[in-house]
Structure 1
Amino acid sequence: METFSEINDMYVERFAFIEMLSREFVAMTGCGVYVYLNPLDVDQLFNNYQNLRMPIRAFARQCIKNVAG
């Protein structure tokens, strides 16, 4: 069973991921992430990111190339 701290950490990590993804989308395309992706897509990207364990910024840039490129 997950503790409150573990659940809180997961939300903090998810928020940081979405924030960085959004920043990178704006920086590279001029538009926010939700212009290109729906919330379910962003959630799936977060799950993929957790499995790959690469830096958020590198993952975000790769996503942008795949989606908006």
Structure 2
Amino acid sequence: MAVDIQLPVHVRVGETEACWGSVTVPVIDGALDEATLRREMAGFLRAAADQLENPGNVEEVADAAPL
């Protein structure tokens, strides 16, 4: 039976840490497929890099660290 789990992605720079979101990966027969996890993380990090390079559509977050 396949179950999806969400893994939070935290980023720390110096003393400042933030949760940038999460990736969702399937667990099949009690195992996490490393290739799937790598693919999901790569997509997440590509999207994060795009937001860093092109910050035009950034949502305001109440508890976010100042820029």
- TM-score normalised to the size of structure 1? 0.37
Q: Answer with 1 or 2: which has the greater Rg.
A: 2
Whichever structure has more helix as a proportion of its residues is 1
Higher relative contact order, chain-length normalized (CA < 8 Å, sep 6+): 1
